[in-house]
């Protein structure tokens, strides 16, 4: 009987170098006694939080988008709190890094609206009733972002009155100087004339545009080489507000595209309410000064 040819028959297994195995040699694969990727990120907890109340296909999209936005807002809040503390301590470099990060996160939030806009009015109306009175208006993290940037409106705290611990956290930020107020105090410490009424304003009262503050920023913009870090601070603040306004605008257009001019689930005027928010500025003098240069 002749020797078999040095070739395996069709369909037979042939031992050959397995590059995938070679490249994976040394990779951890047994996580029975050590922490895994999913364990570190607590993915079981995270991925179990999306629980649609209907059997409609697009409700999961709606929940995921809002979860993603809340996660990004959690990071924004931390970065704004740290940036405010750094400005208060005259330590601007880490403040700039945090503010720049927030501006980039806002771009991700804008992109999230683009994904949500793939949902048609019919898609949304198929499950809207299960939302009850829940509304993005009630997001405490969104409210905290606005407060840290300088928004002050007692009414906006009311949706959270049922939660004492949460109300206390919001109130603490509400009664503390915002990032902008700390920035103006820094200008004064650097010898730039800022009105005493602005510097000593009760942080819980709304900031109104002040001509003296416009002039203070004008000094910095006209002498940017001399006050370069303050000039950079001003531009970082403008970036923040610009990105925030883009997020607000995309929110308006997405809501109008999906629900038209209907009243919001939380009882707001819907699109009309959101459009009014576009008219509010956190740092009005930084926009006014541009027309003075």
Could you tell me if 68 and 61 are in contact, meaning their C-beta atoms sit under 8 angstroms apart? no
**pLDDT at position 29, please?**
83
In the block, tokens 């607590």 appear at 42
> What does each C-alpha distance from 280 to 107, 225, 242, 253 come to in angstroms?
20, 31, 12, 17
d(CA 36, CA 28): 9
Task: Output the six-digit token pair for 290.
Answer: 């541009």
d(CA 261, CA 255): 9
d(CA 218, CA 201): 21
In the chain the beta strands, taken as DSSP E runs, fall at none
Q: What is the pTM of this model?
A: 0.85
**Entry field: residues in the chain:** 293
* Rounded average pLDDT per 10-residue block, the chain, 293 residues: 53 56 74 91 97 96 96 98 98 97 94 92 92 86 95 90 95 97 98 96 94 98 97 97 90 80 52 68 96 92
**CA nearest to 268, candidates 125, 133, 152:** 133
d(CA 283, CA 15): 69
**CA nearest to 116, candidates 251, 267, 248:** 251
Mapped onto helix, strand or coil, the DSSP state of residue 265 is coil
Angle ∠(39,59,144) on CA atoms, nearest 5: 65
Mapped onto helix, strand or coil, the DSSP state of residue 16 is coil
**pLDDT at position 261, please?**
53
Could you tell me if 178 and 107 are in contact, meaning their C-beta atoms sit under 8 angstroms apart? no
d(CA 238, CA 244): 10
């Amino acid at each position: 009987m002749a020797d078999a040819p040095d070739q395996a028959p069709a369909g037979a297994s042939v031992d050959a170098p397995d590059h995938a195995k070679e490249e994976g040699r040394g990779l951890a694969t047994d996580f029975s006694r050590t922490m895994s990727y999913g364990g570190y990120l607590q993915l079981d907890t995270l991925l179990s939080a999306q629980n649609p109340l209907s059997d409609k296909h697009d409700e999961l999209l709606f929940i995921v988008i809002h979860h993603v936005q809340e996660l990004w807002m959690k990071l924004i809040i931390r970065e704004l709190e740290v940036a405010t503390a750094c400005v208060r301590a005259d330590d601007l470099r880490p403040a700039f890094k945090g503010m720049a990060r927030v501006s980039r996160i806002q771009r991700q939030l804008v992109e999230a609206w683009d994904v949500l806009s793939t949902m048609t009015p019919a898609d949304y109306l198929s499950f809207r009733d299960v939302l009850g009175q829940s509304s993005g208006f009630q997001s405490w993290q969104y409210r905290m972002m606005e407060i840290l940037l300088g928004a002050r409106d007692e009414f906006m705290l009311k949706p959270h009155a049922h939660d004492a611990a949460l109300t206390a956290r919001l109130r603490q930020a509400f009664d503390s100087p915002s990032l902008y107020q700390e920035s103006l105090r820094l200008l004064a410490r650097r010898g730039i004339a800022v009105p005493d009424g602005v510097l000593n304003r009760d942080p819980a009262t709304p900031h109104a545009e002040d001509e003296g503050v416009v002039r203070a920023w004008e000094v910095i913009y006209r002498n940017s080489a001399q006050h370069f870090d303050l000039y950079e601070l001003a531009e970082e603040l403008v970036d923040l507000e610009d990105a925030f306004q883009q997020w607000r605008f995309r929110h308006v257009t997405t809501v109008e595209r999906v629900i038209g001019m209907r009243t919001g689930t939380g009882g707001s005027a819907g699109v009309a309410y959101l459009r009014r928010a576009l008219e509010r500025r956190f740092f009005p003098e930084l926009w006014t000064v541009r027309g003075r240069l």
